[in-house]
Structure 1
């Protein structure tokens, strides 16, 4: 088994929730600084349109397969041990292990309201989680002084893991651009995970997630915001697979 499989130029990890968690444990034990991405179909599609973005994603220490279509392609390419490893599931997995490791968690993303709901939900569901801090950034460009203030607050918190919920590709660029100025060892870009864990947005039923239909559930939940990502994006993904993977693989 390989450690990664290249899908449309992106080196996606052959991993599971447990293996990714074990990787984070090793990074923290060894003092290794890392940022990790979670790559759904939309990330792979966006990486075809921008070499810069593809470089940002591939610059991550670990790229997790966030979506069954990504897993299916990996299985087709000879990596049957890959399992779906998405941001919301991984966040829940790590929070549920809080009593065993004592990691300090910092949350960056969302709105002030969603941040407060998230923190309360965590305190209620996982009372042993050590919350180092949380920041809800403004929905506008952040100036240099304001940006440095965010960095200073995160660094002063002594956090072990920084969870970034800005959505892709924004969060991936943010992690790549800030990792050298942050002292927190591990940074995880988990997209809409904050809203799912907080209960602000509904999660797709498990059977839909296992069968690769989560995109349809989310599209029905937020059609105006997500139609382009899923209708156009999924079509582009199939096109790229046929032209860049199927013919080459064959």
Structure 2
């Protein structure tokens, strides 16, 4: 693992995808932070990426990182394998954006990017282009309610809702039936909202079976659309206090996530800060010297 924000040829070779699933690397927006690679992209850039992939008919994963996923990825091999397959990794955490600024990265508030930040733009595009969108996740009835509410506003988007309470084990009848439904539906977009790390594990295990489409891990997206969960006001996300809103709503489930897990990231943060100080002092990272790769210092466009 490198300790500075750059991508080396060695890293490219180690995480190269299998021939059945070729993904395009993002260099200009990609940075290294808290032990992982993330993309400093705005909501418009996410939608541009999605439209390009749909037009080309290729399979691609759009993931997201927040402090919870950074904790899980240290302990869960499937999470690590999932992110290695992702073509774009959004930053779903204002504290991560703040931290990136301390490292000298050229990040801005608008680089905090997740479903709730681009949902209106997305559904407008989906409606105009008459996309087929499949959603897998939530309790029985929730995704159907969300689909009905969305179609009332975006009638030209075709939505296939499927709940997340099924036997997701490899080879199960439930899983085979779901995959068959998705193949028959031929979605341009597949949202998987079963919570971390279950949604990432399911995508990874079924990746080669899924139809060519843009695959998102979106957590409780359709719970918000159905009205079973109330999202925090977007200003709270921009201010970095959305976690407090969610903690008050569900303290029993979220206390450990917001009040314990972030402390495990301190060693990674210290490593990043030290690397940033070495760069500022003009000392190139060791791996960059070895491979001749310039450090990525932020978003350049």
TM (normalized to structure 2)? Answer: 0.76
Relative contact order (C-alpha < 8 Å, sep 6+): which is higher?
2
The 5-angstrom pairing of residues 1-250 of structure 1 reads 2-77=28-103, 78-81=105-108, 83-131=111-159, 133-138=160-165, 142=169, 144-237=172-265, 239-250=266-277
Cα distance in 2 for partners of 1:163, 1:146 equals 18
Range moving further from structure 2, 170-179 or 79-88: 79-88
Q: 2:91·2:111 contact (CA, 8 Å) conserved in 1?
A: yes
Q: Please list the CA deviations of residues 97-150 of structure 1 after superposition, one character each: whole Å capped at 9, or x if unmatched.
A: 22322211011000112122211211223223222x111132665452221111
Once the two structures are TM-superposed, the CA of residue 191 in structure 1 deviates from its matched residue by 0.6
For residue 167 of structure 1, give the secondary structure of its aligned residue in structure 2. Answer: coil
Once the two structures are TM-superposed, the CA of residue 18 in structure 1 deviates from its matched residue by 0.6
Unaligned runs of 5+ in 1: none
Q: 2:39·2:90 contact (CA, 8 Å) conserved in 1?
A: yes
Cα distance in 1 for partners of 2:241, 2:226 equals 22
Which structure dedicates a bigger proportion of its chain to helix?
1
For residue 164 of structure 2, give the secondary structure of its aligned residue in structure 1. Answer: coil
Cα distance in 2 for partners of 1:2, 1:184 equals 25
For residue 112 of structure 1, give the secondary structure of its aligned residue in structure 2. Answer: coil
Change in Cα spacing, 1:139 to 1:181, as seen in structure 2 (3 Å) is closer
Q: Please list the CA deviations of residues 75-108 of structure 1 after superposition, one character each: whole Å capped at 9, or x if unmatched.
A: 3331225611112333443112223222110110
Cα distance in 1 for partners of 2:147, 2:226 equals 8
Q: 1:35·1:179 contact (CA, 8 Å) conserved in 2?
A: no
For residue 168 of structure 1, give the secondary structure of its aligned residue in structure 2. Answer: coil
Cα distance in 2 for partners of 1:196, 1:89 equals 13
Cα distance in 2 for partners of 1:140, 1:89 equals 31
- Quote the RMSD (CA, aligned, Å): 2.0
Q: Please list the CA deviations of residues 3-25 of structure 1 after superposition, one character each: whole Å capped at 9, or x if unmatched.
A: 21111222111101110110011
TM (normalized to structure 1)? Answer: 0.91
Cα distance in 2 for partners of 1:144, 1:123 equals 31
Question: Which structure is larger by alpha-carbon Rg, 1 or 2?
Answer: 2
Q: How many residues align?
A: 248
Change in Cα spacing, 1:149 to 1:223, as seen in structure 2 (3 Å) is same
Q: 1:215·1:230 contact (CA, 8 Å) conserved in 2?
A: yes
